[in-house]
Amino acid sequence: MNEPRAVYQTLINWLVERDLYPAAVTTDDIGASQWRRADALARLAGPGPHTVLELGAGGGYTAAALAERGHAVTAVEWIAEAASSIRLWTDTVRSGSLRAIEGDFYELPLEERFDVVCYFDGFGIGNDGDQRRLLRRIAGWLEPDGCALIDVMTPWYWAAQAGREDEYDGIRGRFEFDGDGCALRYHQWPPDREDEAVMQVIRCYSPADLRLLLEGTGLRLAGLESYESERYARSVPLAKAMIYLAKLVPAS
Ligand SMILES: C[S@@+](CC[C@H](N)C(=O)[O-])C[C@H]1O[C@@H](n2cnc3c(N)ncnc32)[C@H](O)[C@@H]1O
């Protein structure tokens, strides 16, 4: 199974099954990598406070870190359990503000504009047409002097991971790379249930390819930071990076 919404729903079902989905949160639950994302936003967009739209916000941990830094955050997530989890943060954060919107960011009737639109660890689902459609929506959500901060997976890192297996939150995983489509294929399954495996397909882009993708979307690549992993623990040269955080600004 690899329809994106069904894949993310299944991944959450597996957590719920094993009682690993949080029923309550405290700010101590915000991890180092979420604070590092908030630091990256301050470096690339300025300290703010900003109005921030976070796409594909998962359980809201990064949104909570951003609110704690004083930003007014709107977090979008289409999986009901994850959106409920984001709502738990709404009364927990001690500064800024946090609002959860449950919905598909391709469909959302959201008329507001934001200083920053961010998407951590999710960009690349679907084909190039899907990415362009999303980038055009992002351009429409940005204030004229705003910026988007988007995690982008590098092809060279993920091509070298083909065949590697891992385990995360008790879920087994195997990485493959589609060289023709330049996409990571990540298969995941609960131990001993490989027949139930789901697959995420994430398109990977070099900055040169991202510039081509951005043509006609109303956005241009204005800078980037490259990291060893999605946790942002170590900055590394782009050629050694798993991921880079692209800063996109209005094209004109
Ligand atoms: C890999 S997870 C990353 C979650 C979070 N950004 C983080 O870094 O912890 C990608 C998230 O994006 C959400 N997502 C993907 N496509 C979406 C869409 N079209 N609309 C809303 N949420 C979406 C998924 O449900 C999932 O929670």
Distance CA(134)–CA(214), nearest Å, equals 11
Atom of ligand 1 nearest to the CA of 105: 20
Give the per-residue pLDDT at 201. 96
DSSP 240: G
Closest C-alpha to ligand 1, atom 18: 104
Q: Is 57 in the pocket of ligand 1 (CB under 6 A)?
A: yes
Helix (H, G, I), strand (E, B) or coil at 53: strand
Instruction: Give the distance (Å) from ligand 1 centre to CA of residue 55.
Output: 7
Closest CA to 95 of 156, 38, 138, 135: 38
In tens, the pLDDT along 7-64 reads: 999 999 999 998 888 889 999 999 999 999 999 999 999 999 999 999 999 999 999 9
Q: Is 138 in the pocket of ligand 1 (CB under 6 A)?
A: no
Closest CA to 19 of 132, 169, 158: 169
In tens, the pLDDT along 152-194 reads: 999 999 999 999 999 998 999 999 999 999 999 999 999 999 9
**Which amino acid makes up residue 128?**
D
Distance CA(7)–CA(16), nearest Å, equals 14
Distance CA(136)–CA(60), nearest Å, equals 24
For residue 169, give every residue at least 6 positions away whose Cβ sits within 8 Å of its Cβ, in sequence order, or none. Answer: 15, 20
Instruction: Give the distance (Å) from ligand 1 centre to CA of residue 82.
Output: 9
Question: Rounded to a whole number, what is the distance in angstroms from the first to the last CA of the chain?
Answer: 41
Q: Is 190 in the pocket of ligand 1 (CB under 6 A)?
A: no
Q: Is 229 in the pocket of ligand 1 (CB under 6 A)?
A: no
What is the helix (H) or strand (E) element at residue 67, kind and residue range? helix 61-68
Asked if residue 183 lies in contact with residue 4, where contact means CB atoms within 8 angstroms, the answer is: no
Asked if residue 171 lies in contact with residue 193, where contact means CB atoms within 8 angstroms, the answer is: no
User: What are the chain's domains?
Assistant: 4-153+206-250 (3.40.50.150)
Query: Rounded to the nearest 5°, which phi and psi values hold at 76?
Result: -110, 135
The pTM of the full predicted model, rounded to 2 decimals, is 0.97
- CA dihedral of residues 127, 129, 144, 210 (deg, nearest 10): 50
Give the per-residue pLDDT at 238. 98
In tens, the pLDDT along 205-225 reads: 999 999 999 999 999 999 999
Q: Is 79 in the pocket of ligand 1 (CB under 6 A)?
A: yes
DSSP 125: B
Give the per-residue pLDDT at 145. 97
Asked if residue 226 lies in contact with residue 241, where contact means CB atoms within 8 angstroms, the answer is: yes
Across the chain, what does the average pLDDT equal? Answer: 96
Instruction: Give the distance (Å) from ligand 1 centre to CA of residue 123.
Output: 9
Instruction: Give the distance (Å) from ligand 1 centre to CA of residue 199.
Output: 15
Give the per-residue pLDDT at 239. 98
DSSP 235: B
Give the per-residue pLDDT at 242. 98
The token pair that represents 182 in the structure block:
């330049």
DSSP 197: -
Instruction: Give the distance (Å) from ligand 1 centre to CA of residue 107.
Output: 14
Distance CA(222)–CA(251), nearest Å, equals 9
Instruction: Give the distance (Å) from ligand 1 centre to CA of residue 211.
Output: 23
